[in-house]
Structure 1
């Protein structure tokens, strides 16, 4: 028996979209047609305006997004006290540990707040700025700039270690100028606008450090000049940087006389340099004596000075774990202390050179 109903292939009912929702299209309701057409036209006009506005603001939105990503201060640190340094794939671990990964996971953000570790972290930041910026991942570079900002803020608050931070910022700025301008923008991970913004921040930090005015404490008490001369000289012998001695000698005439002591500069030369290095750079004064002060600054330009830190990272030769000195790492050796060796800032970087 044939099917006598409406053909199932015929088109269905017509529906149109109105402000009140979807309605059936009816020829009898001609008054609604004009409203529907006007509504469709207004909707098309609205879409065109949105499309033009999006095209007009796309560049501005991209710049804002770059600055927002750069200004995000979310620390991606795991805040671990130790990290396993593996240079090859094993059954337990695949891949290898990179410098950026170690920089992210080790707690450098808290280390800068410790006066014992401050100079260590600053020296490490300086070495990374000289030659290792291109080896850091995008997250590690962001963490680097966040830690650097915390270092600058700490110096501005405490008014200490100003010279070291100035040298660090100058080294970083020179390296970035070389990487961005001379070698091209592709060598650095991230958008070029972000790095330009970071360079502007570095210039701003340098200006803030130059405007620091150290104020004397209001409390009245003994000062360095009130101590006996033998104690003043003993304190000067504890300084390991010749520039600090020169700055101290500019305070008053009495300290200036003590800062020119030949024995003081002689001990400083023998502390930083070997006898062979000293014999190659002998300088005689007008009186026929060795000018130890001039020799120190000449030796400093030719050879690296001895570095000494109150607290450093430790490396366990038994389990290949890098950790801070005051923390316990999961070591299976019987004599844990005998397996641990201190790691200098340069030694930290050398661990991740393959």
Structure 2
């Protein structure tokens, strides 16, 4: 009997060609949600009521359309006798809908950090599909920065690092198809063209209050909510009052306590006598940063369920559903999602890459 896959009980996968390349043929089965989706079209009142119930099992796209099921992906965390543990990065990024997730302000920083790791550390080991997904994500980042006029420095950093790596590979160290790398070069030029058109629109003279009119107490509260030294120093260059507030001891003391524990702070101070004589919190911060590194904070992370090895975005909730009982109602599925037996952990961008053979 011919073997079509690593699991002899599986007849094998059927692949179809699409505009984005070859993809596995998928059979969509949303039986438990079919009746609910039909009922959503009856009246506007019923739509608003059912939308709350579907919050954990569905999501809405950027144009407001209902999209089911939510993006998630099964991850092989260990090998078995029948299935070898292997996860494809390109397919995982597609299933988790990273390209559309770029436009969510809560996930933007997480995705950009992951892209930075892929570009600077893993670019030569990526498959062709993963490379295409990376460039697609970068293009969406360019469009998002253009529309929001925020995080321009993040886009410039990613473009600079990617251009540097591509130049190295194109000088004889490239892997894979030469045609594919030429496509990457052309696409990078297109993204760079988008980035050069970004112009920060200044507020008009009739816009009040201006930054200079904001009271000092408000400026201090704003700076207290910044989580890294680069943002505080850049804010201090805006104008004289903000420069004065950015030098205050309380700002840097709070920043130290945000990133490190009291034990770590005390250890660094005891190790350096000059900090004991005059406790300059800005110098304490620089010492701590070089010793322990910065704590990374994200508004939203990916999560991994320990029970079913399912990876999903935190705000969408756990996507697991019991499809064995066709008579189960939406309330039963929601109750299963909220079950205390489901234990999941947050995944940082560095931990995310460890699940792939890169």
Normalising to structure 1: TM-score of the pair? 0.67
Task: Give the deviation of 1:129 after TM superposition.
Answer: 1.3
Q: Structure 1's 97 and 194: CA in aligned 2 closer, same or farther, altered over 3 A?
A: closer
Tell me, yes or no, if structure 1 residue 156 matches structure 2 residue 146.
Answer: yes
Cα distance in 1, alignment partners of residues 203 and 269 from structure 2: 45
Tell me, yes or no, if structure 1 residue 264 matches structure 2 residue 251.
Answer: yes
Residue 18 (structure 1) aligns with:
none
Task: Give the deviation of 1:214 after TM superposition.
Answer: 2.0
Cα distance in 2, alignment partners of residues 161 and 346 from structure 1: 21
Structure 2, unaligned stretches of length 5 or more? Answer: 1-17, 27-68, 323-335
Structure showing greater relative contact order (alpha-carbon pairs closer than 8 Å, 6 or more residues apart):
2
Residue 120 (structure 1) aligns with:
110
Structure 1, unaligned stretches of length 5 or more? Answer: 1-71
Q: Structure 1's 336 and 283: CA in aligned 2 closer, same or farther, altered over 3 A?
A: same
Residue 195 (structure 1) aligns with:
181
Q: In terms of mean alpha carbon deviation, does 148-157 or 332-341 score higher? A: 332-341
Tell me, yes or no, if structure 1 residue 305 matches structure 2 residue 305.
Answer: no
Q: Structure 1's 99 and 197: CA in aligned 2 closer, same or farther, altered over 3 A?
A: closer
Question: Among 340, 347, 354, which residue is 2:351 paired with?
Answer: 347
Question: Among 104, 107, 128, which residue is 1:138 paired with?
Answer: 128
Tell me, yes or no, if structure 1 residue 99 matches structure 2 residue 89.
Answer: yes
Tell me, yes or no, if structure 1 residue 314 matches structure 2 residue 299.
Answer: no
Aligned pairs (5 A) from 1:203-352: 205=191, 209=195, 212-218=198-204, 220-274=207-261, 275-276=263-264, 278-279=268-269, 282=272, 284=274, 289-297=278-286, 299-301=288-290, 303-327=292-316, 328-330=318-320, 335-336=339-340, 338-352=342-356
Task: Give the deviation of 1:148 after TM superposition.
Answer: 0.5
> In the comparison of the two structures, how many residue pairs are matched?
278
RMSD (CA atoms): 3.5
Normalising to structure 2: TM-score of the pair? 0.66
Q: Structure 1's 76 and 266: CA in aligned 2 closer, same or farther, altered over 3 A?
A: farther
Question: Among 162, 172, 175, which residue is 1:172 paired with?
Answer: 162
Deviations 1:7-54 (A, max 9, x none): xxxxxxxxxxxxxxxxxxxxxxxxxxxxxxxxxxxxxxxxxxxxxxxx
